[in-house]
Structure 1
Amino acid sequence: GKPMPVEPENQEINDDKAFTCTFSIECSTILNNLNDLEADKREIVPSNGIILPPTVVTFYEGESVFDVLQRVCKENNIHMEASWTPVYNSAYVEGINNLYEFDCGNLSGWMYCVDGWYPNYGCSRYQLKDGETVEFRYTCDLGKDVSCDWMG
């Protein structure tokens, strides 16, 4: 079975127990949709679509994907903006590397997957486990172009 979401008020972080995961951020789908991208944003899209290549990072027991995203972006000087969505009791990632939802069409925005699975809940509710691989991927088509099939 897939992990269930952990509510933020139930999150317990144990900074005595350190683990590692592999983290990456990419927006290669934009390269196929540059005509839809706002012109002033084109120069911030990396030529290969890779914002952060797969990188092994340390995290602590109980931390969420969002906790690690915040730290990884800060450590690598990658801009990241998120907002709190009370109805989902979760953080919502609006933009990474100054690329925001809807910048590349009405169906575009950031999604995350863990070991190839796209959770249908926010990244602040996904409690990481040792050795997992996390990818933040920009979609231009509600996830279809990044192999997520539950959206839309």
Structure 2
Amino acid sequence: MPEPLEQAPPSGSGSFSESAPSSGAETTQEQKTEKETKPAGFAGTKTEDKTAESDAGQMAIDPETGKDRFLTDPVPPGKPQPVEWQGVTVKPEVELACTLSVSCKTILDNMDRFNKDKLEVLPADGVIYPARTVIFYDGESVFNVLQREMKKHKIHMEFEMTPLYNSNYIEGINNIYEFDCGELSGWMYKVNGWFPNYGCSRYQLKDGDVIELVYTCDLGRDLGEEWLGQSGR
């Protein structure tokens, strides 16, 4: 039985690596700037926080921007709203199941841009973690499940909490990092075929959810996703 993870701290970073060779990516100032301008499914951005909590403890909306204090764009109708992990109590007595997979297949179509120093950690078929059913506990997030399964299967993962987005940002999996396949490359996640417009620590799972961690070489466009405000980029 997997051990439930405690919710992530409000700041800091983490990583673990038990199988893949350590060949961490150096990040230039230009790349850091690029990271800070990616949408919420990627990481956080630097901007002024104008929004306060409502009296009921729910996230208030800034009337000027239409966003909450974590800069979340309006969630499409019928899609789950983000849940702030600080207010969630995980119930380890309630076991549920979801499907998880991790893939970097888009790199195979962009080998001319891929970091040649990382060829030894690139799977021949682009599959890092094949789709399988995993157990999680009521109240856990996408990040909780991903972190536990990568550690369980000795797959390197590095992440960093982005306080402005109140979510962990996935920097690298299997020693494949953001920017390893161009300036618009990095890790994204989708659940039940949808790319949420908020971070994976804020996506509270439901029984039967299908989670996919996928690598993009073009800010999601090569995965069929056009981020709000990014289509003209």
Residue pair 1:20, 1:57 contacting (<8 A) in 2 also: yes
Runs (5+) with no aligned partner, structure 2:
1-77
Deviation at 1:3, TM superposition (A): 0.5
- TM-score where L is the length of structure 1: 0.98
For residues 1-152 of structure 1, the aligned pairs below 5 Å read 1-150=78-227, 152=230
Deviates more, 1:134-143 or 1:37-46: 37-46
Alpha-carbon displacement from aligned partner over 1:87-136 (angstroms, at most 9, x marks no partner): 11111000000001001000000000000000010000000000010000
| Equivalent-residue separation in structure 1 for 2:134 and 2:164 (angstroms) | 30
| Equivalent-residue separation in structure 2 for 1:12 and 1:5 (angstroms) | 15
| Equivalent-residue separation in structure 1 for 2:88 and 2:177 (angstroms) | 28
Give the ranges of 4+ consecutive aligned residues of structure 1 lying more than 6 Å apart after TM superposition. none
- TM-score where L is the length of structure 2: 0.64
| Equivalent-residue separation in structure 1 for 2:206 and 2:116 (angstroms) | 39
* 3-state DSSP of counterpart to 1:24: strand
Whichever structure has more helix as a proportion of its residues is 1
Deviation at 1:51, TM superposition (A): 0.3
RMSD: 0.8
Equivalent in the alignment of 2:57: none
Residue pair 1:108, 1:138 contacting (<8 A) in 2 also: yes
* 3-state DSSP of counterpart to 1:87: coil
For the pair shown, the structure with the greater C-alpha radius of gyration is: 2
| Equivalent-residue separation in structure 2 for 1:118 and 1:37 (angstroms) | 24
Deviation at 1:82, TM superposition (A): 0.3
| Equivalent-residue separation in structure 1 for 2:85 and 2:98 (angstroms) | 20
| Equivalent-residue separation in structure 1 for 2:196 and 2:160 (angstroms) | 18
Whichever structure has more strand as a proportion of its residues is 1
Amino acid at match of 2:79: K
Residue pair 1:34, 1:42 contacting (<8 A) in 2 also: no
Deviation at 1:71, TM superposition (A): 0.5
